[in-house]
Amino acid sequence: MRVERKAAAVGLLLCAAAAAACRQEMYNQPRYKPLGRSDFFADNRQARPPVEGTVARGMLRADSRLYTGKEGNALVSVFPLPVTRALLDRGRQRYNIYCAPCHDRTGAGNGMVVQRGYRQPPSLHIDRLREQPVGHFFDVITNGLGAMPDYAAQIPVEDRWAIVAYVRALQLSQGARVGDVPPESRGELDRAKPTGEPSPASPEYPTLYKSAPIRGSGAGSVPGAQLDPGAPAGGVKAKPPK
Ligand code: HEC
């Protein structure tokens, strides 16, 4: 019995040693370290440069109109993709997320960031911008302009075009007449009666928001914000941090 146990222990030990040796051999196999030196190639680099003209998957970007908004050096004036209802809906959503903080939801240029002191952009409804080809808007989003940062990293190419389509719709909406509405839809205009609230495009809008008291304990961190004296002590209850 004792002898058997000893034999089993020795066997186990041998197995373990063999396994360890095995791993060691794999570890020590001849192989290159990344970007190391090699005497095999004339340029002494073991990492081989990609064949000339190699294009990374998904990066072909052959359609310059779609990816740059330009054809040669000229800005395109026709959308390089079909403008559908779905594209416009997407554009409205993306515009309200990425552009409205500065340009406001109507494009007048009174977004909250501007009310807090950022340089005011021109209204998207001035003649110069109404007359710009669509490629200009794509180019401004892609490369920025003056004080406006570029949004190439945040907004994928097709979303940029969706935003451009929505900017065009905004421009149309601000200059539209009843005659532009198809006769069968004119009834909806009466149903959408104004509620008496100033629209962001109206001149009262910025002052109204500037003078509005800001309640809540967070107001202290906003320069120039005042706590409403009528607000309950401690302001609105803050949510516990998550
Ligand atoms: C951080 C604030 C900010 C955001 C966000 C922003 N813009 Fe601007 N935008 C500006 C400012 C400021 C200017 C004026 C730049 C200048 O002339 O220096 C401007 C200018 C423009 C112009 C006018 C270009 C011209 O020819 O004068 C367009 C068009 C425009 N922005 C579109 C957009 C769109 C579309 C978005 C959303 C993707 C966007 N902007 C997001 C601040 C912003």
Indicate if ligand 1 lies below 6 Å from the C-beta of 148.
yes
Domains along the chain? 65-175 (1.10.760.10)
What's the pLDDT at 197? 57
Q: Is the CB of 75 under 6 A from ligand 1?
A: no
160 lines ligand 1 (CB under 6 A): no
Q: What is the pLDDT of residues 155-186, one digit of tens each?
A: 999 999 999 999 999 999 988 888 888 888 88
Chain center to CA of 51: 33
Provide the pLDDT for residue 217.
40
Report how far residue 164's alpha carbon sits from residue 107's, in angstroms, rounded to the nearest whole number.
12
The three-state DSSP-derived secondary structure of the chain is CHHHHHHHHHHHHHHHHHHHHHHHHHHCCCCCCCCCECCCCCCCECCCCCCCCCCCCCCCCCCHHHHHCEECCEECCCCCCCCCHHHHHHHHHHHHHHCHHHHCCCCCCCCHHHHCCCCCCCCCCCHHHHCCCHHHHHHHHHHCECCECCCCCCCCHHHHHHHHHHHHHHHHHHCCCHHHCCHHHHHHHHHCCCCCCCCCCCCHHHHHHHHCCCCCHHHHHCCCCCCCCCCCCCCCCCCCCC
Does residue 215 or residue 37 have the better pLDDT?
37
Q: How many CB atoms lie within 10 A of CB 195?
A: 6
pLDDT (tens digit, 9 = 90+) per residue, 72-81? 999 999 999 9
Q: What is the pLDDT of residues 48-74, one digit of tens each?
A: 999 999 999 988 999 999 999 999 999
Average pLDDT value for residue range 7-32: 69
CA of 70 to the centre of ligand 1 (A): 19
Q: Would you say the CB of residue 146 lies under 6 angstroms from ligand 1?
A: yes
101 C-beta closer than 6 A to ligand 1: yes
Which of 10, 206, 221 lies closest to 113, judged by CA? 206
Ligand 1 centre and the CA of 89: distance in Å? 21
In this prediction, residue 22 carries a pLDDT of 56
Per-residue exposure over 200-227, b if at least 16 CB sit within 10 Å of its own CB, e if not: bbeeebbeeeeeeebebeebeeeeeeee
Distance (Å, rounded) from C-alpha 242 to C-alpha 175?
45
Q: Give the model's pLDDT for residue 208.
A: 43
Biggest alpha carbon–alpha carbon distance for the chain = 105
| CA of 94 relative to ligand 1 center, distance in Å | 14
User: Of 62-71, 105-114, 205-214, which gets the smallest average pLDDT?
Assistant: 205-214
What tokens does 28 get? 């020590």
- Ligand 1 midpoint to CA 131 (Å): 16
* Predicted TM-score of the model (pTM): 0.68
Give me the mean pLDDT over the 108-115 stretch: 97
Distance CA 171, CA 124 (A): 7
Among the atoms of ligand 1, which is closest to the Cα of residue 163?
A: 35
pLDDT for residue 134 is more than 90? yes
Q: Residues 96, 107: contact at Cβ < 8 Å? A: no
Please choose, from the candidates 168, 25, 2, the residue with its C-alpha nearest in 3D space to the C-alpha of residue 95: 168
Of the two residues 192 and 159, the one the predictor is more confident about is 159
For residue 232, give Cα distances in angstroms to 191, 196, 220, 228, 238: 39, 28, 15, 9, 13
Tokens of 131: 């007359």
Q: How far is the CA of 46 from the centre of ligand 1 (A)?
A: 47
Instruction: Please indicate whether residue 122, judged by its CB atom, sits closer than 6 Å to ligand 1.
Output: yes
